[in-house]
Amino acid sequence: MVKKLFVIIVLIGLAVFFYGMLSSFSGNETLNMSAAYYAENGAEEVGAANLVTAIVVTYRGLDTLGEVTILFLTAAIAAFFLKSKDNFSKRKVKESSELLKTASSMLVPLIFTLGIYVFVNGHLTPGGGFQGGAILASGLVLLLLSEPLQKVNSVLFAVVESISGLFYVGIGVAGIFLAGGFLDNSILPLGEFGTLLSAGALPVIYILVGLKVGSELSGLLTKFQETQEEN
């Protein structure tokens, strides 16, 4: 209890600190310098209708590469210590409900399609590679829920992951030679604003990201599935 009391006291301290921060935050009336620049020039320079995507993939492309790397890292780390159990497919589990099975076989293709749609259109509409990849992985979750003993081809995920990662880096490097620098999307023509094939290499990158995120998350999920021993 004493410990909790301490925690409370410290949290009060933290709260006081946060209150100070909160009171210093007065909301925005206008965009600040950076945001204004993006708003003014984003469309022209990058050619993506979705300014967020423009920022994520080009202006702050290195961050994105980094976050992809983090996902890759977690998957890799989990992979090297979560050793698959050979007999995971032999354990006894309760049969999934008919409803779930049917629904999933209906929904999964849809979900996959949606995921692909989301990352392909990342530069135009809300969403993008991460979101798309996550949607792909959620499809897999549904699949696994309905068929917990299902064997999933994790090698495929690994290959997709590696290839997409390599291409991503490759595109980045290509930017140095063909355009203004690492991860410059103008290695491909910017195209017509607002169309699918616009914004240079941006959609390509987002597709790669989507694939990579999807395969990484899927790989991670498979790993969890394979490690499972009991119900």
- Amino acid at site 231: N
Site string for another protein, 131-160 (x = CB under 8 A): ------------------------x--xx-
Maximal C-alpha separation, the chain:
65
Q: Whole-angstrom Cα distance, residue 128 to residue 108?
A: 19
Q: Is 171 in the site for another protein (CB under 8 A)?
A: no
Q: Is 118 in the site for another protein (CB under 8 A)?
A: no
**Which range, of 76-84, 88-96, 99-107, 113-121, touches another protein by CB under 8 A?**
76-84
Q: Whole-angstrom Cα distance, residue 176 to residue 185?
A: 10
Closest by CA to 178, choosing from 200, 205, 198, is: 200
Task: Using the minimum distance from each CB to another protein, give the nearer residue, 73 or 149.
Answer: 73
Q: Is 7 in the site for another protein (CB under 8 A)?
A: yes
Q: Whole-angstrom Cα distance, residue 171 to residue 165?
A: 10
**Which range, of 52-60, 86-94, 111-119, 145-153, touches another protein by CB under 8 A?**
52-60
CB of residue 105 to another protein, shortest distance in Å = 27
Q: Interior CA angle at 154 toward 103 and 215, to 5°?
A: 70
CB of residue 106 to another protein, shortest distance in Å = 27
CB of residue 41 to another protein, shortest distance in Å = 7
